[in-house]
Structures are given as structure tokens and as C-alpha cells.
A and B are shown apart, each in its own frame.
Chain A
Amino acid sequence: MQTEILGILVIFLLSVLPAIWLGRYISRVFKGEKIFTDFLNPIEKMILRLAGINPNESMDWKQNLKAMLWLNLVFFVIAYLIMSLQGYQPFWNPVGLGNWEPTLAFNTASSFTTNTNLQHYSGETGASYFTQLLCFCWLQFVSAATGIAACALLFEGLTNRRATKLGNFYVLFLKSNTRILLPLSIIIAVALLLNGMPANFEGLQEITTLEGKSIQVAGGPVAPMVAIKQLGTNGGGYFGPNSTHPFENPNYLSNILENISILLIPIALVFAFGYYLNRKRLAWVFFGVMTVLFVSFVAVSAASEFVGNPHLDKLGIAQNQYNMEGKEMRFGIAASSMWGVSTTSTSNGSVNSMHDSHTAISGGIFLLDMFINAIYGGVGVGFINFFVFVIIAVFIAGLMVGRTPEFLGKKIEPKEIKIAALVVILHPLLILAGTALSTYMIVQNPDYGWLANPSFHGFSEMLYEFTSASANNGSGFEGLGDNTPFWNVSTGIVMLLGRFIPIIGPLAIVGSLAAKQPVPETSGSLKPDTLAFATVLISVILIVAALAFFPALALGPLAEYFSI
């Protein structure tokens, strides 16, 4: 147990230390300052020229938003077409997989465009190499880059000067790919290859097992896809079982590496905020707030897994007290909890254990991570979500010190609060309304048979599915038969709304803030880089995220826990 805990400490420290360096690097990339990756300049210039984009043209928030939405619409449509017409094109489809059913294609196109990677299909049996690489893998890069570029626009909007231009989305988007995601993916992919992860295009391979039976084993370009799946907080597995599959996560070392990749960029962006705005202390406060929640969640989850299910002991089934069900022996309890919290809090969604089989408390923690969706959060969007909590905390704390609330020298007025309030409502609305709809349907028609488990756990499965979709997480509480038109369409819509509104809202806020005259700081101004403000921030996060979902948590995981 002690070595297991040591293991997750190593994962955490090895995520944070390079993230600080990466944060400074990212800030320089955003600012266009001189940096060692500048040798990529000619290639980037060529791409921009081919696309007809003037890299020096700075745009206001509306123009940038338009650019982002158009680009993503194009990605979405192409992805939808590739999947629907998969059977017609002969390239890279050695197994000869056919066309996708329309609602599944809609769901999956939404899922990968929104960086969610909710998979209602099973990777290796549904998607050809062509689809995997040119659709999924491509989207895993560009959806992550969309988030990072949006975050860069947010940073620029918060600089303490009066300007309406926030930069050029296309340039930031391209650089997020070429300077951040691609180089890191190459490093991680090589490291994973060294750990024995496959990368080939050889289709199904016949293997004779020790028992002398012949089986077919699916291969494919696994290592590169796993690298971007983790780094871009995508989470979509090459294989159905995701990172529990030995090809996607061969050993303890690859597990550490993948877990670090999950946390690396989300944490780095917090520090990038500090470097970009020269507010390093504030970045540390934000990092501290997130880390307090993160560490507590890992601790609670791991503790509850170590306690396990008391009834199994009573029945005389030896389980060494630990809850090993649904976990991989090569990773163990602590690493599974660490991964579970990492993947749900960063909107990654890849799994190295079955979340369905964790204890009820862990399940509740994973849900809470996604309700908050800003503890480090998804690449780019995590910080953007966090920013909305900051605005609300600043507003309340600002009143409490007797001044019109201001953040980084810009006044927070009705307009900003209105947008923040809309974003705050969205997440509970999507999750609770979706879950309510599905519970209503299953009560009316019990023969739908979605649920592998009855009662509270079945409730958690539905709640988890909508939460995962709205938070753009993508992990699933397996046990839910989710490849049906209802689930495909409803979660597809939820993913799209849950992705783009929380980007549009905050960008509108910074667009409005950027146009304001900065207010000088005085001793009467609220200092956000203090313990007192951090307390307000944590309270706001917990109250806004947890209070709205408390009844749902009570009926799902809590009911299950207390009823055991």
C-alpha cells in the first residue's frame, strides 16, 4: 500500500515539475516570443499562406469566435461524412469495416469534435485505420488545439490594457498543434513504443496461444494515438477497453507515463496564465486551489477503494479487503484511483480501470470531478471553465471588501455576470435534464434495457453518461447500453452545447473586459492572490458545482454507499 501511494506521488510530482517549465514555454509560444522551436516558422508560414490567412491580422473576440466555430463546423461535417461513408472507401480498411449508422456517426462526430471522445462504438471493431487516423486522431489534435487557442485568447483578453483585439485564432490554433501538441506527442509516443506498445497497420493478426488455440489480435497505430489521446485530454481509446487494454497500457511504467500525459498540459496552462500575464503568484494560488481539491479527491477515492466492500468479507470471499474488481493487477488500487480522478477532473475520459466497478464513493468523486470540470480541466477549456468560477468568486468577494468587484484591474459589471450566470446554469441544466429525461423514459418503458444494473447504480450509470457528455469527458460508467438512437442523439447534442457555450461565454466576458479601461490597484482593491480569496474560490466551486447536484448524488452514489 505504501509503495502504491508513493507511486501516485511520483506521478503527481512528475506532472507538476515539467508543467511549470511547459507553462513558460506555452506562454512564449502564445506571445510569439523567440523560442527554440522557431525552426518550425517556415512550415507554419507556408500552411498559413496556403490557407490564405494573414498571421499579423489581430481580431476582436467576435471575429475569433467566428473563426473557431466555422473551423469546428468543417471538422464536424468531414468527420460525419468519413464515418457514414466508411465502407465505400478502400484505403486502410484491411478488415473491411462498413458504414456507420447515422445517429452513431452524429454522436461520434460530436464526440471527437468536442474533445469528448465518448465512444458509443468500440474502437478496433468499428473504425478502420483510415477513420482512426484521419478522423479520430486528426480530431484529437485539432479539438485539443481549439481549446488551447481559445485559452490563449482568454489570456490576451485579461492583459491589463485597453484593447479590443485579442490576437489571431488561426495562428494560435496552428501553433498549438505544431509547437505544443505534436512535439509532446512524438516524445510520449516514442516513450510508449519503448514500453512495448504496438504501432503497425497490419490488421488482425493470427496468433497461436499457449493452449494451442488460434486467435485474432487487432493491432494498429496504437502508440501515436495513445499519446495524443492523453496529452489532448481526449481519452478516446484505440481499443474498446481503452487504457486497461494491454496494448494501450502495457505496464506500470507506461501507466505512469500516460497519467502524467493526462495532467501535463492542463496544469501547464495554469502556469502559462501566470507567465503570460506576469501574475505568477496568482497562478500558484489557482494551482493551489485546484490541487487542494484534486488531492482530496484522490485521497478519498483511494481510501474508499482500500476499504473495499465489507459484504464480500462477510461472505467469506477473500479480497484482501481491497476493492480490486474492475482494476488491472499491474496498476493496483492507488494508481487506478489516481487515474480515475485525473481523467475525470481533466475531462480526459480515458480509463485504466472500470469506473463502474469502483466503490460508490469513488464513483461519486468521479462525478464531482466532472460536475466541477475545472480542476486543471480539459486542455484550454479547463482553465476557461475555472475562469467562470473566478468571475463569480471575484464578484462576491469584491462586494465583501466594499468596492465594485474587479479582476486584474477590470470591473465586473452586470454584463459579465449575466454571461457567467448563463454558463453556470448550463452544466446542471444539461446533466440534470438529460438524466431526468432518461430516468423518466426507463420508468415508463422498463423494457428498454439500457441498464446492466438496477436501482441506484443504474441511476448513477445514466447520470454519469450525461455528466461525461456535458463535461466533454468521454469516460463511461460501463454497463449502460448506450449505442441506441436516444443516447446517441441526446448525448451528441449535450456534448456540442457543453463544449461551445462554455467557450463562447467566457470569451465574450474577456472581450468585454478587454475593452474596459483598467483600474489601478489600491490597498482597497481585492487581492486575488491571497488565502482569503482562495477560500472564497474553493467555496464557490464546491457550492456551485456540488449543491446543484447534491440530490442527484444522494440518489445515486450516496444512496448506494449508505445502503450497502
Chain B
Amino acid sequence: MTSKQENNTLFSAEILIAALRNAFVKLNPTLMLRNPVMFSVEIGTVLMLLVSGISFFYQDELLGEPVYNLLITFILFITVLFGNFAEAVAEARGKAQADTLRKTRQDTPAKRLTGSTKIDIVSSSLLKKGDRFVAEPGDIIPTDGQVVEGLASIDESAITGESAPVIREAGTDNDSVVGGTKVLSDRIVVEVSTEPGESFLDKMISLVEGANRQKTPNEIALTILLSSFTLVFLIVIVTLKPFADYAQTPISLAALISLFVCLIPTTIGGLLSAIGIAGMDRALRANIIAKSGKAVETAGDIDTLLLDKTGTITLGNRRATRFIPAEGIKYEDFVKFCLLSSLSDNTPEGKSIVELAEKEGIIYEKKILENAEFIKFTAETRMSGINLSDGRQIRKGAWDAIKKWSEHSNESLPFLEENTHKIAQKGGTPLALAVNHEALGVIQLEDIIKPGIQERFERLRRMGVKTVMVTGDNPLTAEFIAKQAGVDDFIAEAKPEDKMNYIKQEQNSGKLVAMMGDGTNDAPALAQADVGVAMNSGTQAAKEAANMVDLDSDPTKLLEVVEIGKQLLITRGNVTTFSIANDVAKYFAIVPALFAITIPGLNALNIMQLRPDSAILSAVIFNAIIIPLLIPLALRGTKYRPIGASALLTRNLLVYGLGGLIVPFIGIKAIDLMVSLFI
């Protein structure tokens, strides 16, 4: 997703209007209570409104000027509104994103199966968990479910944006279908896996909706800290009144409440939930459906990442990369035999042999295949191949199987054996080829490491995340690939329980572990991991056990999830720092203005040279408008850089700490200059 696209959606008119309306709805005190800082501002606003009203009838030093009071009331009201608006914008954006996903799953007709054969057409919203429905070519799948019969190719582009069709088949690890996707071929029977309104998407939508959003532990802790600061400043202004009386300095309620609102951390208070929602939204934009906000934040804390080799570190499956004929065998002949032997081999390895051979310019006459007999791979022979009509038998298989079968060859065997060892040592897989019981050469199959994966692992390492490759390969091969890809550790010849044990072992030493999985046998490990991401193409069991589902079924997505989690926390920390640092300037604006009339000496603190009658106003205005100014930052998040914790802290301190110290001095002064034009 480019940043330009994001810019467009950041403030579309539709979102702004919806958010503006919601900002008012959120003024409801029962909703405001969730945010103690902004709730105190709301109370302050109501108090000021009362003071304004009374000050029209009674005049004294405590009540102050009615017009000025109204002005302050208005600015405080705007402050609350801005905070609500920030949250509403974040929600609206999340909803817009969810709606595009949901659009596809509006009432679609479903062919519900009653009994074993009878089909009646019902609305998808009537489908209950356990119901079965039929989907045929051209049908939109009405809701999430599990294929229980048949196999079909499905277009999931509506959900994932990926145009290539995928295969979903009953009884395999790829048996789950998602509502809103389209069947391209074949007929399947699907069992509904969720109750209406409880699908993953529904869960995600509730995460971006403020009202029933669960706060994460980090957010709760921060809210407590901010509330305690609010309480401290409440003490400060309540006690300031008797202090001022003692100093015989009249002080108006407007000034006290303004000082209070300026000092409490309204900037972070106003943006806190927007930041949280935007984090969920960023996950959703990356096509990750998180079941809880906590899962996304935990992702930022991950210490260890378990990655399947195939598809994550290497490109799909092994590919043929070299043909090695035995001595005395013509290269072209050998390659041609390889090609012929693989014609009926539909495994990815077999296909890659055909591809490589064709790339080398080897052709064969179609005539040769007439009356040829294809030999399928069996577990018994561990070979596959072809018997040509001229009687030649071509076989391809693992080296020891071919060696056994090749009773006629003798002198070439040592050479070939040496080569198979070489290939294995370098992390490749050797296949051998024999014709009429005579071994002719070996084919080198290799894992192709995804381009750019090393850089991503390096990035993770700098974040402090350890990467672990999980593979069924033997330790030798695994080690070679692990080294090449730059992962920190590997589990070779992995069985499902090995993953589980590794996760438990890491967790016992206090580490947080994330993993991605798709199969039913991954489910226990997914549940055990602190962050388990299931692929959308995976089984229902895997999706239930995981706390996130990746709609793209992209194994490298874990890396993005980690960054989204970190970014969320960093944004919160940075805005908090900025908000608290602002207080210094606000003190220097308000305190001299409060006392400068009776204690002229204190005007020495007025380093911004503000006019006493506009200083408080300027500070309150600054305090209000900084919230909407930072909404884009809250929504987009501060950029995460994997430069190590200390460097990151230094950087963020300079930008948000020092910036938070300096910016309000400039901002308040500028506002004061503008305000003084009107007063």
C-alpha cells in the first residue's frame, strides 16, 4: 500500500462527515468516562458553562467577565470535540475498510442442503453453524465454512486482492472457504463454521468500533498514568485558590479551569483511542484480521519467530537447477530422458525439471510418446517414469532407489554417488535417473531462497527478534538453507509436536513466540504461541486456534505484524512524551498571566512576552488545536525504524521530547499575536 493511497483515504469527505457527527454523539458522559482525561475536560466545560451563565447576572473577581467566560467555554468544548473527532475519524476509517470487505458478503442467496440431496435457496444470513450448502461454478460463497465434499478452484480476489485462483479441497489442510469469494470450477459442499455475526471479520469490525473496544493492558496502564497526572493537576489548581487568596491575588474560575485543562495531558488523552484503533486499522489494511487488540500489541513484543521454510523462506518447492550426466553420457540425451520421465510427474519438482529442460532448449518428438506407458510413483518403488513403446524404461527417483534398480551400471556409480553427496551437502536434494537399469546421471534440486528475505531477517535481528526456520528436511540441508537465508536457528525433520516443544521451551525462558500455520496439526502450536497467525487458506481448526488470520495467506506477513505492533506502542509513547513536554511552555504562559498584576515581579517568567489579557486564551487555543493537528500522526503512526532500542529512543526523544518542549513556545506566541489582533 503506498502512502499516497493512504493520504487519499485519511480524510475523505465521507469519513469526515461521519466522524463529525459521531464526535457529537460521543459527548455522552457515559461514553466519555472511558477516557478520564477528556472526561475531566468535559466536566470543566460544563462548569465553565455554568460560570458563564451566572456571570451574566452576578459579577465578582471569582466569576470574571461573562464574554471571556463564554469564549473559554467554547474553546474547552472544542477541545473535547477534537478528541472525540480523532477517535471518530479512526473508527470511520476502520469501518470503511471493513465495509469494503463486508460489502462482498451482503445477502447472497445460499443453496442450503436439507437432508442429503434436497436444495432450497435461502438468504445467507439464515445460515447457521453446522448447516451445509452447495456451491457451484459462478456462485458467491455465502459465508465462512469448511469444504466437506469435493474440490473447487476459487477466486478470492474480493477478499485478498490476489487474482490467481486457489484450490480448496475437502479433507486437506486447504479446506476452508471464506464468504464473499467466488467458485470458478467444480461443485463443493460446504459446512458453515460460524454463527451469523460472529465471523472473524465481524470480530475485527468490533475492534475498530470504539464503544465495545477492549483496552489492551498497555493502554490501560497508560490511561492510569495519565489519570494520575490529571489528579495531580487537579490538586494543583484546587490548592492554587487558597494560595492566591493568601497572596491577595484575585483569580477567576475561568483562569483556574483553563490552567487545569492546559496542564492535564489532553493531547495524548484526546488521541489515545484513535492511536489504538488506527493500529487495528493498519493491521486490517495489511489484510490481517486480529481477534483482539492485545494480539497486535503482543506482536510488537515478540522475541522469537517460528517460520515454515517452504513458502516463507524458500519459494514454494524445490526446483531443478542442474543436470549432471555420468561420464560418457551425452548431456542433451540425459536431459531429454529427464524431460520424458517427468512429463507425467505433476509434483512441483517434476514440473520444474520439465521447465529447466525446456529452458535449455531440449525438445522431443511427440511421436515418441505414442503407446508410451507412464509409471506412477509408489511408496514401494520410490520411483516414477515412463516406458516407451520401443521398450526403453526410464526411471527417476531417490538415489538409493535408483542405485538398487540400476543393476547393469557399474563404473559410473561412484561418480554419481559422489555427486549426490555434494548436492546434499549444499542443501540440495539429488534425484537420479536410470534407463533400462543403468544409472545415467543425477538431477540437482534446490530450494530457492526468496529474494530479499535475508534483508528482512536482518531487519528482524536489529529489532531483537530471533528467527527460527521449521522444516521437514534433514539437519544437513536445513543448516545449509538456514545459513543462506540468515535465520538464527532451525528445527530440522520437524514433526508437529517439535514446534510445540520449541515454543514451550522458548516461553519457559520468558520469551514471547509468534508462529504462522495452516494445517489442523498446527492448531495446538498456534494456540500455544503468544501470537498465532493462521492462513486464510488453512483449516478451520487452525483459524480457531490462532489469534490472527492472514487473508493473503502470506507467510512473510508475520514480519509486518511485528512492525505494526511496535509502531502502535511507539506512537503512544511519542505522543505522551510530546503532551507532557508541552506543559513547560503552558506554565510559562499562564502562571505569569495569573499573578503578574498583583505580583509584577513574576512577569519576568513571561519569557514569551505574551499580553496578560490574551496569554491564557492563547494557551487554551494551542492546547485545543494541537489535537487535530496530530490526528494524521495518530492515524498513520510514527515510522518504526529497526535501529536498536537506544538509537530509537534517542531519536524519538529528540523529535517528540525536545519538539514537545519547543513547539508550544512558538505555537502559543504565534496564536497570541493573532489573538491580539482581535482583542
Pair B239/A404 contact, Cβ less than 8 Å: no
Alpha-carbon gap, A554 to B606, bound state (A): 12
Pair B245/A414 contact, Cβ less than 8 Å: no
Max count, chain A CB within 10 A of own CB: residue among B239, B300, B573: B239
Of the candidate stretches A378-386, A476-484, A529-537, the one touching chain B is: A529-537
Partner of A523, one of B298, B461, B640, B649: B461
Pair B246/A439 contact, Cβ less than 8 Å: yes
Contacts of A459 in B (CB 8 A): 243, 246-247
Contacts of B244 in A (CB 8 A): 555
Contacts of B648 in A (CB 8 A): 400-402
The verdict on A554 contacting B602 (CB below 8 Å), with A399-B569, A533-B649 known, is: yes
Alpha-carbon gap, A449 to B605, bound state (A): 32
Pair B263/A547 contact, Cβ less than 8 Å: yes
Pair B232/A535 contact, Cβ less than 8 Å: no
- Flag whether B46 is at the interface (Cβ < 8 A): no
Alpha-carbon gap, A547 to B595, bound state (A): 17
Pair B645/A562 contact, Cβ less than 8 Å: no
The verdict on A443 contacting B245 (CB below 8 Å), with A396-B577, A414-B220, A547-B587 known, is: yes
- Flag whether A525 is at the interface (Cβ < 8 A): yes
- Flag whether B235 is at the interface (Cβ < 8 A): yes
- Quote the shortest CB–CB distance from B602 to chain A (angstroms): 6
Partner of B649, one of A416, A455, A532: A532
Contacts of A539 in B (CB 8 A): 581, 657
Pair A400/B605 contact, Cβ less than 8 Å: no
Partner of A525, one of B566, B645, B652: B645
Pair B604/A527 contact, Cβ less than 8 Å: no
Contact with B along A393-423 (1 / 0, CB 8 A): 0011111111111000100111011101110
Total interface residues on A, CB under 8 Å, equals 70
Pair B221/A519 contact, Cβ less than 8 Å: no
Alpha-carbon gap, A428 to B656, bound state (A): 27
The verdict on A401 contacting B649 (CB below 8 Å), with A396-B573, A459-B246 known, is: yes
- Quote the shortest CB–CB distance from B91 to chain A (angstroms): 22
- Quote the shortest CB–CB distance from A114 to chain B (angstroms): 22
Contact with A along B300-314 (1 / 0, CB 8 A): 110100000000000
Q: B586: nearest residue on chain A (CB-CB)?
A: A547
- Flag whether A518 is at the interface (Cβ < 8 A): yes
Contacts of A531 in B (CB 8 A): 650
- Quote the shortest CB–CB distance from A541 to chain B (angstroms): 13
The verdict on A520 contacting B510 (CB below 8 Å), with A400-B574, A403-B300 known, is: yes
Q: A463: nearest residue on chain B (CB-CB)?
A: B243
Q: A423: nearest residue on chain B (CB-CB)?
A: B228
Max count, chain B CB within 10 A of own CB: residue among A428, A429, A532, A533: A532
Contacts of A398 in B (CB 8 A): 569, 573
- Flag whether A558 is at the interface (Cβ < 8 A): yes
Alpha-carbon gap, A501 to B307, bound state (A): 49
Of the candidate stretches A6-14, A165-173, A254-262, A430-438, the one touching chain B is: A430-438
- Flag whether B236 is at the interface (Cβ < 8 A): yes
Alpha-carbon gap, A443 to B510, bound state (A): 59
Partner of B580, one of A420, A429, A543: A543
Pair B246/A443 contact, Cβ less than 8 Å: yes
- Flag whether B346 is at the interface (Cβ < 8 A): no
Partner of A527, one of B512, B594, B646: B646
Alpha-carbon gap, A527 to B220, bound state (A): 24
Contacts of A486 in B (CB 8 A): none
Pair B573/A400 contact, Cβ less than 8 Å: yes
The verdict on A522 contacting B303 (CB below 8 Å), with A402-B640, A543-B583 known, is: yes
Pair B570/A418 contact, Cβ less than 8 Å: no
The verdict on A548 contacting B235 (CB below 8 Å), with A400-B573, A402-B640, A517-B510 known, is: yes
Contacts of B222 in A (CB 8 A): 395, 399, 417
- Quote the shortest CB–CB distance from A478 to chain B (angstroms): 20
Contact with B along A9-43 (1 / 0, CB 8 A): 00000000000000000000000000000000000
Pair A519/B511 contact, Cβ less than 8 Å: yes
Contact with A along B585-620 (1 / 0, CB 8 A): 001000100110001111111000000000000000
Contacts of A563 in B (CB 8 A): 599-601
Alpha-carbon gap, A527 to B645, bound state (A): 7
- Flag whether B240 is at the interface (Cβ < 8 A): yes
Alpha-carbon gap, A552 to B239, bound state (A): 9
Alpha-carbon gap, A382 to B570, bound state (A): 31
Q: B649: nearest residue on chain A (CB-CB)?
A: A532
Alpha-carbon gap, A439 to B241, bound state (A): 10
- Flag whether A559 is at the interface (Cβ < 8 A): yes
Contact with A along B629-667 (1 / 0, CB 8 A): 000000000001000111011101100110000000000
Pair A432/B239 contact, Cβ less than 8 Å: yes
Partner of A551, one of B240, B509, B601: B240
Q: B508: nearest residue on chain A (CB-CB)?
A: A517
Max count, chain B CB within 10 A of own CB: residue among A413, A459, A522, A526: A522
The verdict on A524 contacting B465 (CB below 8 Å), with A399-B569, A403-B301, A459-B247 known, is: yes
- Flag whether A88 is at the interface (Cβ < 8 A): no
Pair A421/B225 contact, Cβ less than 8 Å: yes
- Flag whether B210 is at the interface (Cβ < 8 A): no
- Quote the shortest CB–CB distance from A436 to chain B (angstroms): 4
Partner of B591, one of A428, A522, A554: A554
- Quote the shortest CB–CB distance from B405 to chain A (angstroms): 52
Q: A421: nearest residue on chain B (CB-CB)?
A: B228
Contacts of A550 in B (CB 8 A): 587, 591
Pair B235/A402 contact, Cβ less than 8 Å: no
Within 8 A of B (CB), among A415-472: 416-418, 420-422, 424-425, 428-429, 432-433, 435-437, 439-440, 442-443, 455-456, 459
- Quote the shortest CB–CB distance from B211 to chain A (angstroms): 21
- Flag whether A68 is at the interface (Cβ < 8 A): no
Pair B462/A551 contact, Cβ less than 8 Å: no
- Flag whether A392 is at the interface (Cβ < 8 A): yes
- Quote the shortest CB–CB distance from A321 to chain B (angstroms): 21
- Flag whether B231 is at the interface (Cβ < 8 A): yes
Pair B645/A523 contact, Cβ less than 8 Å: yes
Within 8 A of B (CB), among A160-189: none
Contacts of A554 in B (CB 8 A): 591, 595, 602, 605
Contacts of A413 in B (CB 8 A): 217, 221
Pair A417/B605 contact, Cβ less than 8 Å: no
- Quote the shortest CB–CB distance from B300 to chain A (angstroms): 5
Pair A396/B576 contact, Cβ less than 8 Å: yes
Partner of A436, one of B243, B301, B509, B656: B243
- Flag whether B567 is at the interface (Cβ < 8 A): yes
- Flag whether B480 is at the interface (Cβ < 8 A): no
Alpha-carbon gap, A398 to B227, bound state (A): 19
Alpha-carbon gap, A480 to B563, bound state (A): 59
Alpha-carbon gap, A563 to B602, bound state (A): 7
Alpha-carbon gap, A551 to B243, bound state (A): 9
Alpha-carbon gap, A533 to B235, bound state (A): 29
Contacts of B534 in A (CB 8 A): none
Within 8 A of A (CB), among B178-199: none
- Flag whether B464 is at the interface (Cβ < 8 A): yes
Pair B602/A547 contact, Cβ less than 8 Å: no
Pair A536/B649 contact, Cβ less than 8 Å: yes
Q: A400: nearest residue on chain B (CB-CB)?
A: B573
Pair A548/B233 contact, Cβ less than 8 Å: yes
The verdict on A524 contacting B657 (CB below 8 Å), with A400-B649, A436-B238, A559-B599 known, is: no
Q: B600: nearest residue on chain A (CB-CB)?
A: A563
- Flag whether B572 is at the interface (Cβ < 8 A): yes
Contacts of B218 in A (CB 8 A): 399, 404-405
Given contacts A392-B225, A439-B243, A543-B584, 5 further A-B contacts (CB under 8 A): A399-B576, A400-B652, A432-B236, A443-B246, A555-B244
A-B contact pairs, 22 of them (CB 8 A): A395-B222, A396-B573, A404-B217, A409-B510, A417-B221, A418-B221, A425-B228, A432-B236, A437-B242, A440-B246, A443-B245, A519-B303, A527-B646, A530-B649, A532-B653, A543-B583, A548-B236, A550-B591, A554-B605, A555-B247, A562-B601, A563-B600
Q: Which 8 A-B pairs have the closest CB atoms?
A: A524-B464, A399-B573, A562-B601, A522-B464, A402-B566, A421-B228, A400-B573, A436-B239
